[in-house]
Homo-oligomer: A and B are copies of this chain.
Amino acid sequence: MTNISDIARIAGVSVSTVSRVLNNHKYVSEDKRKIVQKVIKEMNYTPNKNAVDLIRGETKMIGVIIPYNNNQAFDQMLHGVINKSVEKDYSITVLATKYSKEKELEYLSMLKNKWLDGIIITSRANSWETIIPYTEYGSIVSCEYTTHSEIGCAYIDRFSSYVDAFQYLKDKGHEKVAFTTARGTESISTEQTIAAYKRVFGGLPDEYYLPNCFRFEDGYYAGEQLFGRAVKTKPTAIYANGDEVAGGIYKYARSKNMNIPNDLAILGQENQPIGVALDLSSVDHQLIKVGEQAFELTVQKSRRNIEIPYKIIERSSI
């Protein structure tokens, strides 16, 4: 491993001069700069990033906390982050938690030990109170709205979005509406969905709320639950927490020869390929943009709150 002093010795200059040309400082004579560059090239030398980071105290590396690494929604945000990072010469490290509080804390402390310059939280397991102390060590930005002034966020107004979605369904004549969510009531997003539902429809029949839906199969199973079992009044519409889940529901409905949208209207989320394939209406939360914005906030160490707009994409499933 050739290092900076090898280069200095061979080039017949001091390490500082080598360091200067490495970092494009001025005040290096053309002669020396030339020769140093020549030696660097000849020796195929690259500075050791650990040493540089150690002394500089920053790594140009940002971590993205995602609960699951195989979920379309989190993937979209991750993609947004990666998109921007390529331009800005940052590296992105994927931090999967499976919603483990310990794991999440472990990742957060990567800020403390100077491994990461910043962290983007797409979805969290711990309370803000336990997360906030870590902002002392690096920039933390959230993809979920928060009023805590220590945390920047690029967010979608989920409550409004859910209200709009349910209202849209209601306007289309649906009064019996079911919905799926990923996690249960430990999730803010689920809480907001429920609140939005109640706002639009008044009460919420237990059987219309189907948690634990992540993937296609979960949607299919949700269909079975809703129509195969003892649900008193069958819903006429369902709002799924993603197009993949919506796809599973669609599949189930078609397997029972139900007509979409006449027998069952389906509204998905995130405007994914499976949705366009099946011609499913979807509310597009523009998660890629969320990721992109989150990245920008992180590198700028900004604590601003930026709202990303959503839009309902109307197709034939409603």
A93 partner residues in chain B, CB cutoff 8 A: 61, 91-94
Which of A49, A247, A248 has the most B CB atoms < 10 Å from its CB? Answer: A49
Interface residues of A in 94-111 (CB under 8 A from B): 94-96, 98, 109-110
- Residues from chain B with a CB closer than 8 A to the CB of A258 are none
Q: Mark A123-147, 1 if CB is under 8 A from B, else 0.
A: 0000000000000000000000000
A176 at the interface (CB under 8 A from B): no
Consensus secondary structure, chain A interface: helix
Min Cβ gap A235→B in Å is 21
Q: Are A96 and B114 in contact (CB under 8 A)?
A: no
A79 engages B69 (CB within 8 Å): yes
Q: Chain B contacts of A98 at CB under 8 A?
A: 86
- Residue-by-residue, is A270-283 near B (CB-CB < 8 Å gives 1, otherwise 0)? 00011011100000
The smallest beta-carbon distance between A78 and chain B, in angstroms, is: 8
Residue interface mask A58-98, B partner, CB < 8 A = 1 = 01010000000110000100110011001000011111101
B277 adjacent to A114 (CB under 8 Å): no
Residues on the B chain within 8 Å of A216, using CB: 273, 276-277
A109 partner residues in chain B, CB cutoff 8 A: 46
Given A93-B93, A277-B277, A277-B278, list of 7 further CB < 8 A pairs?
A46-B109, A69-B79, A70-B79, A86-B96, A94-B94, A216-B273, A278-B278
The 10 lowest CB-CB distance pairs between A and B, nearest first, are A50-B54, A49-B115, A216-B273, A46-B113, A247-B277, A274-B274, A69-B82, A50-B53, A49-B113, A46-B112
